[in-house]
Amino acid sequence: MKIGIVSINVGGPATAESMVEVVQHAEAAGIESVWTFEHVIVPTAYESTYPYARSGKMGIPPEAWFLDPLISLAHVAAATKTIRLGTGVNIFPQANPLLFAKQTASLDALSGGRLTLGLGIGWLAEEYAAMGTPFKRRGARFDDYLAAVKKVWSGDVVEHEGEFLSWHGFKSHPTPAQKPHPPILIGGTSTKTLHRVVNAADGWYAPSDSQQELSEKITLLKEMAAQAGRPFESIDITTNWRIAKRPDALPELEELGIKRAVVLLGATGESDPRKAIDLIASRAGL
């Protein structure tokens, strides 16, 4: 089981000041990957429902620092050698897809092929509005963007005519160090998300710590993979590990076919991220 930590880019000034040291500590402790969260803004009030808490709210104040995920990963990449760099997840349809393709290819090239891209469609309509992107049909926009960005990463002449993009007659270099591109994990729990995982991604980022929900979704994922003629084992599944609530959950997660468990540093009970990392490494037997 691969073990990751999240989130290295959310907090305040101390998060920024200690980011490199924390990630270096994680690398030395045997942690496989570090992950980021993304929100460009946090509204002071919003009607959108956060889907991963009963309250429907994130529980993060508008003043919290959400350091840009890709800039944060580039920052720590320069000070590390082996640890993988993950976005968990970036809100893909509200980004400029061509700029995103350039930034991620550059990051993968500069890090020596260590980037893992977790991508999602997002839930915060107010953020989409602030970014100037329609919230409606964001799933269709996600699909079009992903197909087009893969063409950019190929290094070939880009020819793409879709519902949201019309790209023709150009190339973009560098291409990613990883071929054909960095691993793509799609985050979410909807049936449509699982279809995207099977048909367009390398894996699934499951934002859940419910054993029952994970089991049900993985059963469905297996059925979809079989229908698509794809081996289930080729799907790289990442999920959350609530270490304080379920310290001995790893064997059960592994039995489900999950390959990576990511621990929220703030949920370990340790305020010092280094002590949290040591606790995680100890529990995981690293």
pLDDT score for 179: 98
Q: Which domain holds residue 260?
A: 2-7+34-214+225-274
Residue 15 falls within a domain, yes or no? Answer: no
Residue 12 falls within a domain, yes or no? Answer: no
pLDDT score for 210: 82
Residue 281 falls within a domain, yes or no? Answer: no
| Domains of the chain: total | 1
Residue 204 falls within a domain, yes or no? Answer: yes
Coil, helix or strand at residue 65: strand
Question: Which residue pairs from 134-142 have beta carbons closer than 8 angstroms and sit at least 24 positions apart in sequence?
Answer: 138/93, 138/94, 139/93, 139/192, 140/164, 141/93, 142/92, 142/93, 142/196
Coil, helix or strand at residue 168: strand
The secondary element (H helix, E strand) that includes residue 170 is strand 166-170
Q: What is the pLDDT of residues 193-208, one digit of tens each?
A: 999 999 999 999 999 8
Q: What is the pLDDT of residues 70-126, one digit of tens each?
A: 999 999 999 999 999 999 999 999 999 999 999 999 999 999 999 999 999 999 999
pTM above 0.85, yes or no: yes
Q: Which residues of the chain carry a pLDDT beneath 50?
A: none
pLDDT score for 211: 85
Residue 85 falls within a domain, yes or no? Answer: yes
255's tokens: 């039995």
CA distances from 15 to 23, 66, 163, 283 (A): 11, 10, 40, 24
Specify the CATH number for the domain of residue 170.
Answer: 3.20.20.30
pLDDT score for 244: 87
Backbone φ and ψ of 246, nearest 5°: -135, 75
Residue 17 falls within a domain, yes or no? Answer: no
Q: Is the dihedral of CA 15, 38, 235, 177 positive or negative?
A: negative
